[in-house]
A and B are shown apart, each in its own frame.
Chain A
Amino acid sequence: MKRLVYLLLIVFLLLGLTSNIFAASKDTIVIGLSSPILSLDPANHRDRVSETVIRNMFDGLVTRGPDMVIVPEIAESWKWLDDTTCEFKIRKGITFHNGEALTAEDVEFTFNRIIKEGGMDGESSPRKGLLGPLESVEMVDDYTVIFKLSEIWPVLLKMLPHQQIAPKDYLEEVGTEEFRKHPIGAGPFKFVEGTLIERVVLERFDDYYGGSPDLPPVGVAPLKTVIFEILPESSTRVAAFISGACDIIQIVPAVDVPLIEKNPNRVIKYSRGTNAYNLEMNVTKPPFNDVKVRKAMAYAVDRDLLIEMVYNSEGSVFAGPLFPYEEMFDTSLKPYGYKPELAKVLLKEAGYPDGFSIVLDTTAEFKEPAEVIAGMLAEVGIKCTVRLWEWGVLKPLLLKGERDLVLQTWGSSILDPVGYVDAKFLTNGRGNYSQYSNAEVDKCINEGASIIDPAKRKEIYKEMQRIIYEECPAFGFSTDDLTGCSADLINWEPIPDSRINLHDASFK
């Protein structure tokens, strides 16, 4: 027995001496991702985490920096020929990782692969909807390509950073299945190896054209190796970050911020979130069919305190349906502040002087904010019970109008009403959990999505915001995204659309 104990001790000591093998060298970066990657094919997913990995291997026609402004990437310039036709000039001298030149033919192929039914060797791309009314993409010459829309769509440029250019010849030669195993792009890093559930390893592409000239420095990436590790469990991700095994981690839970901040080599970076948290009330059923009750709810919840308590970040309280930092937001609207006394008065006027009982539905990830909200509602006499669901079960019930109150998020990575209000506030929208329906709002939503002039759009959306603000079918907030980052990492900032762009990053 003694021998066994000694033997185990020796093994442990040996393992201890070899622990330095876990430290990565300084031209290698390790990123802890918050969920598995769904595909390495840029046309075969609808997932931000997959896009983060893909966009380090593939470049798009345009991209955006941390300020969310659209800048050229593979495209050198663009010009609207009319309201539905846009011409892109492709940058010369770009090569894919296999050495083949990137031309307009590859751009045409990439987009047709997405918009044509069965375009991926018989399979249809789940990204078609992200290109709205894009009807065709045609090559004019080797470096010019024309995008034709079937109707006016003001967000084409805002949506293009999410589409990456794939190599036509390679894809046609090896086929979709092989391409997904060994993807080739024209981005700053090339694929080395990896599986979707474990890790993906990328290596610097030494013939990279340099990236967007509007996002300096331009040139080959300083880092030699990039390793994306799939760490879906947040405590494991944080432990890996604290122990030094990861240099960047996605989605730091607010509760772990003080623990991380104790470590001088680890910092938290904050970026404006593009996910809206909405408390949505079913306007077709009592008690929420009365606007006074809905407003009372908004006055009863201290959203500033909620953001601070639960998310440990800055965040923003919404006034109306839009993010306060998006271009189309009406700055004259002010959020319903925390006024519990006013909430009580409104409840009394609505015929609920003693409040009422209600169930707040949500999923496990929002348990904590939901419980805080329930506590706040209790202060004005609303007895709120939180019920946790599996999302796949809850969502159909919400869409059928069978539930009363829900807390959920909805993404808007381009920070534009298109793709957001048409899902959340349009009659029968695919995320309209409040069952809200207003003909005037529907008209504004449809009109706003079919005009290019930003000033006119702003005017239309102003009216939409005013009505939704007044009718208050939902009230929301956003929080900052928290990303963990090694203190010696330089030239890297998180981007609100969750992209981890490693082109410029290096270590001190």
Chain B
Amino acid sequence: MKGIKILERVLIAIPIMLAVTILVFVFMRVMPGDPVDKILGESGHVSAEEIQALKSEFHLDQPLSTQLRIFISGIFHGDLGKSFQERRPVWDIITERIPATVELALGALLFSLIVSIPIGIISAVKQNSLVDRLGMAFTFLGISAPGFWLGIILIIIFACKLGILPVYGRITFAFKPIHITGMYVLDSILSRNWPALKDSLTHLILPSISLGAAQAAVTTRILRSSMLEVLRADYITLARTKGLSEYIVITKHALRNALIPTVTVIGLQIGALLGGNMIIETVFAWPGLGRLVVTSIFNRDFPVVQGAVMFYALIYVTANLIVDILYTYLNPKTFL
């Protein structure tokens, strides 16, 4: 039964993605700015024939309805079109960048969880203690500090002053592992290339912290407040009176219940980590999807923006679905 429900949700995702993409298709074309003008740049030596040839090649001289028909028919044939700027299939351009974005999002998520879960629990258990106050000061800083600012500060300290971490990029050229998944940390492990693993991890640290800091702060606060609520519940008092150790009470009874709202937030964060990393990717010259989308919007590279938005829609729909499935395990009373 649960399987059918999951399948149903997956099928519902398809029209959602399509609707989002069509909206973007229309908005991009309604927006002022000419893709051909962008290709030809701010220079002379441009002929009218040249402009016409490019417009015709990109179907920009056709009515909007014809352009939409060509686009939709392409999608059903598995063809997202070609980038106006690079003249390469959009599918290739996007899939080339997804591993970088996913790797950074996972790094940020890992950082966020490593920091937020212990601090959230300790802050709640030892409410109003020094640890709690320091933890809350950290979350305040995490929420207030913009990612790009934090990124630049971290670069100045750890790369320029101390020289212990690299300024930019995903890996040093000489250490690049064999391409398996495109995620260098994972590829290094799979190919047992330990120097590459070390190098890719050092590259991942600063962008992950910069991207994950705000998420860590939010998760810490949510976990702390839900823990506080749960710790005051009758069943926790009962567990304590039964003589269970404090460790068991907190981890088995309190944490599991406090995790329900926390998982919701983490689920939403996965979407934000994958889709909201444009600035961090730019600061750290991280060759991911975020940077691509920003550049493509400025260049009016319609096919790339459409393809990327489809991917983002897929991420959000999937992240929400995963959260809903996780709910059913954390709280068997909920249904899909």
Contact = CB atoms under 8 A, between A and B. Distances in A.
Interface string A1-42: 100000000001001101101100000000000001011000
Contact of B285 (A129, A233, A393, A413): A233
B276 interface: no
A233 B285 CA distance: 7
B169 to A, nearest CB: 7
A195 B86 CA distance: 12
A458 interface: no
Contact of B167 (A15, A39, A245, A397): A245
B39 A46 contact: yes
Nearest to B96: A195
A15 B164 contact: yes
A233 B44 contact: no
A12 B42 contact: no
B193 interface: no
A395 interface: yes
B163 interface: yes
B29 interface: no
Interface stretch (B154-162, B255-263, B265-273): B154-162
A413 B41 CA distance: 13
A357 B289 CA distance: 43
B167 A392 contact: no
Nearest to B43: A411
A239 B167 contact: yes
Contact of A12 (B164, B166, B198): B164
A146 B282 CA distance: 46
Contacts of B54: 124, 126
A19 B163 contact: yes
A18 B47 contact: no
A227 B285 contact: no
Contacts of A123: 57, 87
> B interface, how many residues as a size bin?
35 or more
Interface in A405-450: 408-413, 418-420, 422-423, 430-431
Interface stretch (B30-38, B70-78, B219-227, B308-316): B30-38
A148 to B, nearest CB: 17
B167 A396 contact: no
Interface string A361-396: 000000000000000000000000000001111011
B166 A245 contact: yes
A235 interface: yes
B214 to A, nearest CB: 19
A397 B166 CA distance: 43
Contacts of B33: 390-393, 395-396
Interface in A210-242: 227, 229-233, 235-236, 239-240, 242
Interface string B9-36: 0000000000000000000000111100
Contacts of B160: 239, 242-243
Given A242-B160, A392-B38, A199 B44 contact: no
Contacts of A423: 43-44, 46
A236 B50 contact: no
Contacts of B202: 15, 18
Nearest to A429: B44
B31 A393 contact: yes
A54 to B, nearest CB: 14
Contacts of A129: 40, 45-47, 50
A180 B42 contact: no
A300 to B, nearest CB: 26
B152 interface: yes
B87 A195 contact: no
Given A46-B40, A396-B33, A19 B164 contact: yes
> A interface, how many residues as a size bin?
35 or more
A44 B100 CA distance: 26
B247 interface: no
A354 interface: no
Given A198-B287, A199-B173, A243-B160, A419 B44 contact: yes
Contacts of B173: 199, 201, 227
Interface in B200-215: 202, 205
Contact of A18 (B31, B97, B198): B198
Given A36-B295, A235-B152, A395-B37, A198 B43 contact: no
Contacts of A310: none
B39 A243 contact: no
A392 B298 contact: yes
Contact of B44 (A180, A230, A242, A418): A418
Contacts of A341: none
B43 A236 contact: no
A149 interface: no
B88 interface: yes
Contacts of B31: 392-393
Interface string A431-473: 1000000000000000000000000000000000000000000
A65 interface: no
A462 B173 CA distance: 53
Given A124-B57, A243-B160, A396-B32, A46 B41 contact: yes
B283 A236 contact: yes
Contacts of A409: 42
Contacts of A46: 39-41, 43
B165 interface: yes
User: Which of A159, A197, A240, A411 is the most central at the interface, judged by chain B CB atoms within 10 Å of its CB?
Assistant: A197
Given A177-B88, A196-B86, A201-B173, A229 B152 contact: no
Nearest to B169: A229
Contacts of A349: none
Contacts of B53: 117-118, 124, 128
A471 B39 CA distance: 32
Interface in B132-161: 152, 155-156, 159-160
B237 interface: no
B50 A126 contact: yes
A47 interface: yes
B291 A197 contact: yes
B103 interface: no
Interface of B: 31-34, 37-47, 49-50, 53-54, 57, 85-88, 96-97, 100, 118, 152, 155-156, 159-160, 162-170, 172-175, 195, 198-199, 202, 205, 282-285, 287, 291-292, 295, 298, 300
Chain A to chain B: the 6 pairs with minimum beta-carbon distance, closest first: A392-B33, A419-B44, A198-B287, A423-B44, A16-B164, A124-B53
Given A177-B88, A233-B283, 6 more contacts: A18-B202, A46-B39, A46-B43, A117-B53, A391-B33, A396-B33
9 contacts: A126-B40, A180-B87, A232-B291, A392-B298, A392-B300, A393-B32, A395-B34, A410-B42, A430-B44
